[in-house]
Structure 1
C-alpha cells in the first residue's frame, strides 16, 4: 500500500501534468489552452470598476518582486503575444483560464513601484486591456488569493513580470 506521502505526490504530479497539458498547445495554436481551471475566479475576471483608475503595484512573492493589481492578485504575460503589437493572442478558451487585466476607466493607471511603461490595447470584445512594456497583462484563474503565483511557467508560456515589465522565467 502506498504511503500517504506517495499518494499525495502522485496526485500532485497528475494535476500538474494535466494543467501543463491543458494550458499549452503543441500544435502552435494561440489560444493558450483551457483545461484544468474551467471557471475563472470572480476576482480574476473583474475589471477596475466605477471609472476608478487601474492599479498596478509591486509585491513580494516566493519568486521575488512581481507585478500585481490593486488587490494583490498576480498579473502574467503570455509568450505567444507579440510585444508592443497592440493585440492579444489569448482568445477563445484561453480567456477562460487567463482573463485579461482590464479597466473601464480612461484615467491613467495608478502605479506603485512599477518602472516599466504602462499602456493599453483594445481586446476583441472592445474592452481596454492594460499592458506593461507592451505585454498585455492577464490573471490566472488558478490563483485564488493575493500573492498566489500558480500560473508561473504554465506550459512554459505564461510568466509573472518584474516591476520593470520584464518576463521572470524560471
Structure 2
C-alpha cells in the first residue's frame, strides 16, 4: 500500500513538472493514476474511473472534477463561459495546462455538467465543462491537491455540475 501511494505521488509530481515545461501540450500514453481523495480514503476506484477523461473525486472542498490522472480540474474566470476559446496562453498555460481532449466525446464518470471541446491556445483539443475551458495546476503535486483554489481570485476548482467552487464565499 505504501509503495503504491509513493508511486502515485511521484507520478503526479512528474506530470506537474512536465506540464510546466511543455505549456500543457501533448499527452502521455502512460495509464492514468486513479483519482484519490484528499481525506485519505482507501477506497479503490474502479478501472473505468482511472480511464475516464473526467471523473468526480472527494476533496476538502466537497465533490470536485478531476482529470483522467486524478488531478484537480480548474476554471479560469477570465475566460468567457461559452465563448469557445481559452484566454490562458504563454506563462499562464505553463502554470495552468489545458485539460486535453483525447476525442470529441471524452469518457466521463459522475460529471453532470455538459462536457465539450474547444481548440486550445496550443491548437490541440481542450476539454470544457458547461462552456468553461478546463485546466490543471502545475503546482498541484498529487491527485487530490487543490492548491490552485482561489489563486488570484480567478482560478477555481470545478464542481461535477460545471460550476466554479468559490471557497472564499465570493458570490460574484
Same fold (TM over 0.5): yes
Q: Equivalent residues in 2 for 1:73-88 (5 A)? A: 73-88=71-86
> Deviation of residue 168 (structure 1)?
0.3
Count of residue pairs the alignment pairs up: 130
The answer (yes or no) to whether the contact 1:56–1:112 under 8 Å persists in 2 is yes
Cα distance in 2 between the residues matched to 1:80 and 1:54: 27
1:150 has 2:147 as partner = yes
The answer (yes or no) to whether the contact 2:80–2:132 under 8 Å persists in 1 is yes
**Which of the residues 56, 64, 67 maps onto 2:65?**
67
Instruction: Give unmatched runs, 5+ long, in structure 1.
Output: 1-38
**Which of the residues 83, 86, 89 maps onto 2:87?**
89
Cα distance in 1 between the residues matched to 2:83 and 2:60: 31
The answer (yes or no) to whether the contact 2:76–2:156 under 8 Å persists in 1 is yes
**Which of the residues 153, 159, 164 maps onto 1:167?**
164
Whose Rg is larger? 1
1:47 has 2:47 as partner = no
> Deviation of residue 54 (structure 1)?
5.9
**Which of the residues 42, 55, 58 maps onto 1:57?**
55
Cα distance in 1 between the residues matched to 2:85 and 2:19: 23
- Cα RMSD of the aligned pairs, angstroms, is 2.3
Instruction: Give unmatched runs, 5+ long, in structure 2.
Output: 1-14, 31-50, 168-172
Could you tell me the TM-score, scaled by structure 2's length? 0.69
> Deviation of residue 48 (structure 1)?
6.0
The answer (yes or no) to whether the contact 1:59–1:66 under 8 Å persists in 2 is yes
